[in-house]
Amino acid sequence: MVSLLEKLQEDFSKNHRRTDIVLILQDEQRLKVHSVVLSLFSDVFATQFNNRWSRSRQSGEPEQHIEIDCKTFPPLLMVLVITYMYNDTIPLALDNSDDLLIIADFYNIQELRTRCLDYLSSLTHSNVLRVLPIADNHKFSELKEQCLQFLDRMAPIILNNNLNIGQFCDLPKHLVIEIIERDTLAIHEDIVLDLLDKWVTHTSIVHEEDNLDIPFAWEEFVPHIRFTECSLETFTRIVVSQQILDASLTSLIQQFIVCKTPVPQTVHFNTRPRSIISENAICVQRFRKICQEVNWSCNKFEGDRISFMVNTPSGSSARLHGVQLFGDPNHAITVRVSVLDRHNITLVSSETHRKGTEFVVIFKSAVRMQNNSLYTVIVQTTVDLKTCYGDDGIENKIQYTKDGTKLAVRFIDFEMGEGMSNGTTKSRGQISGLFFL
């Protein structure tokens, strides 16, 4: 037996014998529809129909000829929306979701709004920077926070992709600020500076600003940049060369980066480090115990080191995002952490100045780990120091399961010897753990 809905669908798509409303679209296309269907989805349409019927009865017009102006939106989108009301299907895409949400808001079509929201909630590395402004425009507060949290933990991957960098440059300034102001943004500060530099350049080109006021363009970004976490090369290349900060503040930050000279408390800029490792990062701990006595010697020439192999049975490669170290809770220490391959070629190196029992050194670019290949992490300091340390040896094999993905890390259990540059220092050490994405 054919249902009423099926009869209405057939009448809408084929013969239009029982339609009672004509929608006039932008291109003057006349779309014949059933008032009962549109009224069920949209109280705005229902009100329009009732008002026209009232006027028609007063004027004596035949009701079957009622016409409604629908020229606010492009015809193709209006046909999609009306067809959705009949068939409960709509081809959603990033390119049309924003426009469809505008129509849903205009006509108060809650089912369509929910359908779009569900579609946009499936965040990926390639779509999050496009979903974020849509969520912001339509006041989807939960979706917007999901986007920001997704960026927090996946920024090293997302923002190292040229296509995504282009999407970042298209963001409005207030969203750029909302991204970089977060303490939980898991990204190296050099990348933050590079991204902002590209955003400012892109914006000046789009707005055809030949004589761009550089300090003014950066003014709203400055309070959220952790300048003391930048490398000297990046700070010099971007901040110094463009004179983004005044000369005295620039000099103070340079002194801190080079000599770790304390910045006076009277100087106001953001020195709060980011929580650069997210909740979703996989942490492989090296020790069973933590000793908070500051008496482990950190040799300035060799420091602590570990050698290890990674295996992911799924075949996917893990990315080493950072290294967690033991430090001094009362004094800031300067350390450089390097990752070497089995040929002792340095893959990545990062330096930081931190105070705390434990802290994390983040890499500017996550290191892609090849299965069953040997890697060595080395910690070096500028002076001989004493730090807290891990105790109770190393684990020969550690397995960690996260979201169904198994990550196995095997520490290479031999001491350094003459002519041997790889190996793992035993028993105690400064390297607390490894963070993988």
Is the domain of 303 the same as that of 403? yes
Is the domain of 251 the same as that of 299? no
Query: At residue 330, what are phi and psi to the nearest 5 degrees?
Result: -110, -20
Q: Please state the domain count of the chain.
A: 3
Is residue 139 left, alpha or beta, with left meaning phi > 0 and alpha meaning psi from -120 to 50? left
pLDDT value at 226 more than 80: yes
At 235, the pLDDT band (50, 70, 90 cuts) reads very high
Is the domain of 297 the same as that of 412? yes
Q: What is the pTM of this model?
A: 0.72
Please give the average per-residue pLDDT across 354-378, as a whole number: 85
Residue 358 forms part of a structural domain: yes
Computed over every residue of the chain, the mean pLDDT equals 82
pLDDT value at 241 more than 90: yes
Residue 63 forms part of a structural domain: yes
**pLDDT for the residue 117:** 94
Share of the chain above pLDDT 90, in %: 31
C-alpha distances out from residue 279 to 113, 149, 181, 306, 416, Å: 31, 10, 18, 24, 34
* Higher local confidence (pLDDT), 270 or 150: 150
Residue 239 forms part of a structural domain: yes
Burial pattern 303-316, b for ≥16 Cβ within 10 A else e, equals bbbbbbbbbeeeee
Residue 266 forms part of a structural domain: no
Containing domain of residue 240, as a range? Answer: 146-259
Please give the average per-residue pLDDT across 330-356, as a whole number: 87
pLDDT value at 397 more than 70: no
Is the domain of 424 the same as that of 292? yes
**Is the CB of residue 158 less than 8 Å from the CB of residue 195?**
no
Residue 265 forms part of a structural domain: no
**pLDDT for the residue 2:** 46
Q: What is the pLDDT of residues 110-142, one digit of tens each?
A: 999 999 999 999 999 889 999 999 999 999 999
Q: Strands 358-368, 319-326: parallel, antiparallel or unpaired by DSSP?
A: antiparallel
Residue 229 forms part of a structural domain: yes
Is the domain of 238 the same as that of 92? no
Is the domain of 289 the same as that of 432? yes
Is the domain of 16 the same as that of 111? yes
Is the domain of 181 the same as that of 291? no
Judged on CB neighbours under 10 Å (0-12, 13-18, 19+), 233 is exposed
Q: What is the pLDDT of residues 398-425, one digit of tens each?
A: 655 555 557 778 777 655 443 344 556 6
Picking from 259, 292, 327, the residue at the C-terminal end of a domain is: 259
Share of the chain above pLDDT 70, in %: 81
At 92, the pLDDT band (50, 70, 90 cuts) reads very high
Residue 137 forms part of a structural domain: no
Residue 416, SS3 per DSSP? coil
